[in-house]
Amino acid sequence: MVAQREVSAWRPRVPGVVEVFHAHFTEYAYPMHVHDAWTLLIVDAGAVRYDLDRHEHGTPHDTVSLLPPHVPHNGSPVTPYGFRKRVLYLDLTRLDETYIGAAVDTPDLVDPVLRHRVGQLHTALAHPGDELEAESRLTLIGERLRGHLRPRTAGDPPHRPDRTVAHRLRELLDERLLQGVNLEEAARLVHAHPAHLVRAFSGAFGIPPHQYLMSRRVDLARRLLLEGRAPGEVATETGFYDQSHLTRHFKRLVGVAPGRYRVSSR
C-alpha cells in the first residue's frame, strides 16, 4: 500500500476557531507535541491511538476527543489503512483553562449527539457565507462540552425558552437581512449570552437563527428571480456570499436551482 498523507487546512472567519484541519494518513505517526489551543477531534475512518499525560487513549466510532492545550500528546494509526480525521483548534475564548484538568482525565467523550453536531459544524465551516450557522453550532457544542467536563447539578435551573430575547433577535435578523450579523455582535446587541440566544430563538420559533436568516433571503431571491433577474445578480442583492452560496441554500429550500426556478416562471 502506498503511504497516504493528504491534508487540508484553513482559518475560517469564525471567532474562537484558530484552524480547521482535515487529514488522511496511513503510516504517519505524530511525535509528542503540544498546542496552545484546544484540539477537538473526530475520526471518520480508522482509528487513532494516542498518549495524553502518560495515559493511552483511542478514538472509537461516535467518540469526540478533546485534547487540552499545553498538555503533550502524540498520535498514530491503529490499522494499516490509517485514519481520516477532522480537527478544530479552538482558542481559550471557547473553553478556558479551568477545564484542562477534566479534559486530561476524560479526553474521549462517547456522545453521538455531540459527534453529529461537530460534523455539522465542519460542513458549515467549509462554506463561506455560513458563518452565523457555524458560530451557532460551535456555541452549542461548547455548551455541551462544558456539560461533559463540568456536569450540571440537581440545583441548576433548567433551560426555558426566553420569548423576549427570541423576538428581539428576530427583529435584529430582519433589520440585518442583507448585511447579516455574527453571533457575538447579536448577543451584545440583544444583551444575552450567545448560547442562550440560540436556544431561546430555536425554542420560540422552532428554527435556529441561521436557518431563519437564510430562508428569509431565499424568499427575497425568489421574488427577484421571478422578475427575470439573473442568479448571480440576485445572490449579490440578497446577502449571499456568491452565486454558489445562493444555489446551495435555494436548492435545499425550494428543491431546484435558482436558474431553473427563474426559467420556470411565467
Q: In the chain, pLDDT over 90 holds for what percent of residues? A: 68
pLDDT band at 72 (very low <50, low <70, confident <90, very high): confident
Confidence of residue 79 (pLDDT cuts 50, 70, 90): confident
pLDDT at 141 over 80: yes
Can you give the pLDDT at residue 115? 95
Residue 199 belongs to some domain of the structure: yes
Task: List beta partners, residue 137.
Answer: none
Where do we find the cell 493528504? Answer: 6
- Name the domain count of the chain: 3
User: Looking at residues 161-176, what average pLDDT do you find?
Assistant: 89
Say yes or no: 20 and 101 in one domain.
yes
Tell me the pLDDT of the chain averaged across its residues: 89
Residue 128, H or E segment: none
13 and 101, same domain (yes or no): yes
Residue 255 domain boundaries:
211-264
Task: Tell me the average pLDDT across 219-229.
Answer: 92
For residues 16 and 95, membership in a common domain is answered with yes
Question: Does residue 185 share a domain with residue 230?
Answer: no
Outline where DSSP puts E strands in the chain: 5-10, 17-25, 30-33, 38-46, 48-52, 55-58, 63-67, 73-77, 83-90, 108-110
Residue where the block lists cell 477531534: 41
Q: State how far the Cα of 171 lies from the Cα of 152, in Å rounded to an integer.
A: 32
Q: Write out pLDDT tens, residues 41-71.
A: 999 988 888 888 767 777 766 799 999 999 8
CB of 240 closer than 8 Å to CB of 129: yes
Q: Give pLDDT tens digits for 186-203.
A: 999 999 999 999 999 998
**Same-domain pairing of 16 and 107:** yes
Higher pLDDT, 148 or 73: 148
* Rounded distance between C-alpha atoms, residue 126 and residue 105, angstroms: 32
Examine the domain organization and report whether 71 and 104 are in the same domain: yes
Strand partners, 67: 39
pLDDT value, residue 266: 56
Residues 199 and 215 in one domain: no
146 is a domain residue: no
pLDDT, one tens digit per residue, over 82-123 is 888 999 999 999 999 999 999 999 999 999 999 999 999 999
- Strand, coil or helix: what is 196? helix
Residue 157 has what pLDDT? 56
Mean pLDDT of 1-15: 83
> d(Cα 233, Cα 19) in Å, to the nearest integer?
32
The pTM assigned to this predicted structure is: 0.86
Neighbours of 103 (CB within 10 A): 23
Buried b (16+ CB within 10 A) or exposed e, 141-154: bbbbbbebbeeeee
Q: Output the domain CATH number for residue 49.
A: 2.60.120.10
2, pLDDT greater than 90: no
More confident residue, 79 or 96: 96
Confidence at 161, pLDDT banded by 50, 70, 90 = low
Q: Is 239 left (phi over 0), alpha (psi -120 to 50) or beta?
A: left
pLDDT category at 160 given cuts 50, 70, 90 is low
Quick one: pLDDT band at residue 159, thresholds 50, 70, 90?
A: low
Burial of 93 (0-12, 13-18, 19+ CB in 10 A): exposed
Average confidence (pLDDT) over 151-177 = 77
Highest mean pLDDT range out of 41-45, 148-152, 157-161? Answer: 41-45
What CATH number has the domain bearing residue 259? 1.10.10.60
